[in-house]
Copies of this chain bind each other. A is one copy, B any other.
Amino acid sequence: MKQSHLFTKTQKENPSGEMSINAQYLIRAGFVDKLSSGVYTLLPLGLRVVKKIQDIVREEMDALDAQEILMPSLHPKEIWETTGRWNVEEMYKIENEPYGLGWTHEEVITPLMKKFLLSNKDLPKAVYQIQTKFRNEPRAKSGLLRGKEFIMKDLYSFHENQDDLDDYYEKVKEAYFNVYRRLNLGDVTFLTLASGGTFSKYSHEFQTITDAGEDVIYICHKCKIAANKEVAGGTCPQCGNSELEEKKAIEVGNIFKLSTKYTSPFNLLAQNGKPLVMGCYGIGITRLLGTVVEVLSDNKGVIWPKSIAPFAVHLIQIDGGSIDVVEKCSEIYEILQKERIEVLYDNRSEKTAGEKLNDADLMGIPLRIVVSQKTLAANSVEIKARVEMEASLVKINELVNYLKRNV
């Protein structure tokens, strides 16, 4: 894509009223726009990143044999009355109409599955969706980390008995870590013990360490797990270790053995007449967008992991009015497109070299290619990875091969 075509522009100044780094950078770089507190528009670059996060999550869910569906946001009052959750503070209700907006979907998925899970042969089954959720959030102040409207992946699994749920639950844990690893968050994301509700001792959160986090976790470096405030009593609940490290963190996922909490009120029963055993598993997609920015950025801007970068390559034309540079750079742009390398081409003529390089750092595309009269004099382009300090020259006739190895 040509940058002159992109309708968004970068901003030098931090947007007023945004305290979080993720919102500041994402707005300044033109990835999102704030409509109101906790409510953001995904602009073209931001939507590209979100789609890539969704694709990674989707692949990991499909690998768990989960089937994708899309449930509505407009929920009739009666399903929430069935479980006694109609009057919770999270729920936005529609004025003068018997609807609430979905902030989670147990009340939809359970009666839905009751129509299809008719015998033990139909078990186990798992379904998920990637969908927009709404949550009445009075203090939405952390940018994309905590919104009133946000995109979430929610997975639900249904089992004949507890053992089968336990097995599946362990597989989901692995899949979640795959997601965080693929987003370069693996090293700073901890499986975290949390309170389990009526039916199991613990549930599990996935907490990513960042000063922007609103949670506090206690890490046991022996077990390589953490405990949240609810369950950490000064020692590791798993091994008793009392040397725990306290860290601020953001919850990027949670998994929960619901057991029969929802299958019982909706009478979703196995052939033996007992309620099915159920698990639920959430990942905040737009929260991950914000988390990646919080964790993987420096004082110049964002540093996208290759897996979710909006483009693989940022091609920057520094022409100073030189027709040679414009022609050569256009040519390289065409070649990269033909090779199906995703490229953003900064062909803007009204910007200085310094402005373009600053924008490139702010936008955080993994690989920057600069074409100027100086590089052309050496039949080369200048290549720099966003994560590195040093640039190097690569001959133009070797560029495609270089990129195929490094993109």
Contacts and interface: CB of A to CB of B under 8 A. Distances in A.
A112 to B, nearest CB: 6
A198 interface: no
Contacts of A33: 112, 115
A65 B5 contact: yes
Interface string A232-262: 0000000000000000000000000000000
B92 A93 contact: no
B69 A44 contact: yes
Residue in A33, A43, A69, A101 with the greatest tally of chain B CB atoms within 10 Å:
A69
A43 B122 CA distance: 16
Contacts of A6: 67
A148 B74 contact: yes
Nearest to A8: B116
A69 B6 CA distance: 11
A92 B100 CA distance: 11
Interface stretch (A17-25, A34-42, A211-219, A330-338): A34-42
Interface string A82-123: 000000000011110101010000001000110111100010
A70 interface: yes
Contact of A7 (B5, B94, B125): B125
Contact of A94 (B73, B92, B127, B132): B92
Contact of A47 (B68, B93, B112, B134): B68
B41 A72 contact: yes
Copies in the complex: 2
B70 A42 contact: yes
B70 A122 contact: no
B36 A76 contact: yes
A-side interface mostly: mixed
A342 interface: no
A149 B74 contact: yes
Contacts of A125: 7
A55 to B, nearest CB: 12
16 contacts: A7-B117, A7-B122, A8-B116, A33-B115, A35-B72, A35-B76, A36-B76, A41-B108, A42-B69, A43-B69, A44-B69, A73-B73, A92-B95, A92-B97, A93-B95, A132-B132
Given A35-B75, A74-B148, 18 more contacts: A5-B67, A6-B67, A7-B116, A7-B122, A35-B72, A35-B112, A36-B74, A39-B76, A41-B112, A44-B67, A44-B68, A47-B68, A47-B70, A73-B73, A74-B134, A92-B97, A93-B95, A101-B101
Closest 5 A/B residue pairs (Cβ):
A42-B70, A93-B95, A36-B76, A7-B125, A95-B95
